[in-house]
Amino acid sequence: MRKPLVMGNWKLNGTKDSVKALVTALLDSANKASPKADVAVCAPAVFIGMVENLAQGSSLKWGSEDCDIHTQGAYTGENSPVMLREFGCTYAIVGHSERRDYHKESSEYVAQKYKCAQENGLIPVLCVGESEKEFDEGKTMDVIREELKAVIDLCGIKSFEKAVIAYEPIWAIGTGKTATPEIAQKVHSDIRAYLASFDADVASKVQILYGGSCNAKTAPALFAQPDIDGGLVGGASLKAPDFSAIIEAAVANA
């Protein structure tokens, strides 16, 4: 059985005060959920030390929104997976569509991030997903297969034993347009089938999260789908009551 995972992606949001209030408010929800569902928040790097101090000793896990392909050296502005581990991170999101798009990160480059994160003890959360145009043209799985294949080529299929996948249709991110549970389920099941063509056991065990306007209203029906193992949540993860409701939806479907 796959344990559900609900993960917040704060993106470029937060202040010291809001981070303190949000994390403090989430501890109880995460502790209550923990026998049935894992809960994590991925924060801007400057806040990770604060999150560590606030969440230490609780069931709430935390991670980064990105990481570099190097562990140290002359790479101005980057964050090393080794440093992120030192601050207690469990996860590192890699290949979010906002980074693929605004920072021109290729699938091969994302695969290097995934590799560096994993080799240094972080669980990479590999984001995959298609644009609205690609969706309309029926190219969803062509895009996703290319994104997954880059990782399989570099790290091998077994690497997914220690990774999470997030399906994030770009057209649903921050738009309020959620993929219907049926559309999302079909893509999740296609992702699992593609991975199963390399290794059925790995495919059956990997957690596949849904992201893209996942909120307190949409989460219950999404999480009820057999191949949806939780959510990667943007906007709704910034409000404790909304995020807690999403956590409860994951627990209810565990």
Write out the residues near ligand 13P by the rule CB under 6 A.
9, 96, 168, 173-174, 211-214, 232-236
Q: What are 51's strand-pairing partners?
A: none
Residue 40 backbone phi and psi in degrees, to 5 = -145, 155
96 is catalytic: yes
The structure tokens listed for 169 are 């249709």
- Report the nearest approach of ligand 13P to the CB of residue 39 (Å): 15
Q: Which of 65, 96, 98, 188 is catalytic?
A: 96
**Cβ nearer to ligand 13P, comparing 203 with 214:** 214
- Work out how close the CB of 155 gets to ligand 13P at its nearest, in angstroms, rounded to a whole number: 22
Single-letter residue type at 83: M
Instruction: State both tokens at 124.
Output: 């990479």
Phi, psi of 9 (to 5 degrees): -120, 105
Which is the catalytic residue, given 98, 147, 168, 248? 168
Structure tokens that stand for 184 in this block: 């999302």
Nearer to ligand 13P by C-beta: 150 or 173?
173
Q: Which is nearer to ligand 13P, 29 or 237 (CB)?
A: 237
Q: Which is nearer to ligand 13P, 174 or 226 (CB)?
A: 174
Task: Report whether 38 contacts 62 (CB < 8 A).
Answer: no
Least separation in angstroms between residue 98's CB and ligand 13P is 7
Least distance in Å: CB of 15 to ligand 13P? 18
Closest residue to ligand 13P: CB criterion: 234
Instruction: Show the 3-state SS of 171-212.
Output: HHCCCCCCCCHHHHHHHHHHHHHHHHCCCHHHHHHCEEEEEC
Report the helix count and the strand count for the chain, using DSSP H and E. 11, 8
Q: How far is the CB of 72 from ligand 13P (least distance, A)?
A: 27
Q: State which residue, 213 or 244, has the beta carbon closest to ligand 13P.
A: 213
Do 116 and 70 form a contact (C-beta atoms < 8 A)? yes
Which are the catalytic amino acids?
96, 168
